[in-house]
Amino acid sequence: MQKSKHYIFTSESVTEGHPDKVCDQVSDAVLDAIYKNDPYARVACECLTTTGLLVVAGEITTTTYVDVPGIARKVIRDIGYNDPAYGFDADSCGVITSIHEQSPDIAQGVVDGEGKKGEGAREVKGAGDQGLMFGYAIRETKELMPLPIMLAHKLARRLAQVRKEGVLPYLRPDGKTEVAVEYVNGKAVRLASVVIAAQHNPEVDEFTVQNDVVQKVIKPVCGKLFDRKTQVFVNATGKFVIGGPAGDTGLTGRKIIVDTYGGHGAHGGGCFSGKDPSKVDRSASYMARYVAKNIVAARLADRCEVQLAYVIGVKDPVSILVDTKGTGKVPDEKLAMAVREVFPLDPAGIIKHLKLRRPIYLKTAAYGHFGRLEPTFTWEKTDKVNQLKKRLK
C-alpha cells in the first residue's frame, strides 16, 4: 500500500493599512490619476513611508498634471489613517515628491516615435525592461488559485471590513494574516493554524481582541476547515497598538508574494504597483496568469506555471515555458506552442487584449492581483478555453 503524502503549506496576506500596502496604493493611485487623462503616459512611481512622512519618487513622462500630494492624502484617508493618535494620518503627515521624466535611452526602445504627434507615436513597440515573469493556476479553488493565499486575503479583507463597518470599532488599519493549510495527497483537509495581527486602540484588552477576532473574523471566513485542533494566534505578543507607518517603514513593491500566489510557484524579479503596462514586470505577469488560468480552466492540466522572458526594447518574448507539474493532459511542449498561437505575448498585444490602458490599478494594490472576480481584472477571464482546446485537437 502506498503511503499517503502529508504536508502543510502556509501563505500570508496584509491589510490595506499595512505600511508596504499604503505605498503600493499611493503608487497605483498616482498611475490611475494620470491614466484618466493620458493613457499613454509612462509611469514608474514608488513610495516610502515612515512616522509622519510619505515620500513619492520616480520617473513619469506625461502630457497631464496630477496633484500627487492630494492623491496620496486621499488614499491615506480612505484607508483609515484619519486620527493623529495613530502616529500617521492624512492631514498631518508630510508628503515629499521627487519626480522626473523617464530616461530617453529607455524611451527610444519602448515607444514608436518620441517627439512625434498623436497617440500612435506613443504606442509600445518593445518591452519596457528586461526580465522574467511567472503566472500560476491550480484547480483548488473556484478562482483557480492556491487555497492558502485565498484564505489569507479573505481574512485580511474581513479585518478591514469589521473595522470600517463598526463591528469591531476599536481596530486600526494595520494588520497581517497567515494561514497554514494541511494537505493529504494534494487535497486540503483542514487548517493547521491561523495567525492574525490586528492593530487596535490601547483601551481594549487582549482577551477581548482575541475572542472577537476568532468569532467575527476567523470563523466566518474559514468555515469547515477550522476545527478544534486548529491553532489560533491573535496578536501573539499580547498587544498591537503601534502600527502602520508609525510602527514600520513601508516601501512600494515589498509584498510581492502577497501580491501573487502566496509562495506557490516561482516569482519574477519585479513588483507591479506604480508601473504602467509598458513595464512587462506588470503586464506580462498578468498575461502569464491569464495563460495559466485558461490552461487549467480548459482542463488541460490541474495546475500550471507559465514563464515569460523579455529583453528591453524587443517585441517578442525570448522564451516561453509551460510547466504543468506532471498534471498535463498533453505534453508541456505542445501547450507552449499553442500558447504562442492563441495568446498575444508582445507588450502592445498584451496591453490591447487585456485593456490595460485604463485607470484600474488602485484596486489591485491590496488583497492580491490574482484570483479577483471584479470585471476590471481582465486577466482573470477564461475566454481562451475553446481556442486552446481547438488548437490542441
Nine-digit cell string for 56: 513619492
Band the pLDDT of 129: cuts 50, 70, 90.
Answer: confident
Strand partners, 97: 56
User: 6-13+147-242 architecture in CATH?
Assistant: 2-Layer Sandwich (3.30)
Whether pTM exceeds 0.85? yes
Closest CA to 145 of 355, 379, 351: 379
Pairing relationship of beta strands 250-251 and 303-310 according to DSSP bridges: unpaired
Q: Each residue of 92-123: pLDDT tens digit? A: 999 999 998 866 655 555 555 544 444 554 67
Q: Each residue of 299-317: pLDDT tens digit? A: 999 999 999 999 988 888 9
Pairing relationship of beta strands 53-61 and 94-100 according to DSSP bridges: parallel
- Structural domain boundaries in the chain: 6-13+147-242
Q: Each residue of 155-199: pLDDT tens digit? A: 999 999 999 999 999 999 999 999 999 999 889 999 999 999 999
Distance (Å, whole) CA 160 – CA 135: 28
Distances (CA, A) of 348 to 118, 304, 352: 16, 25, 6
Closest CA to 179 of 148, 154, 156, 210: 148
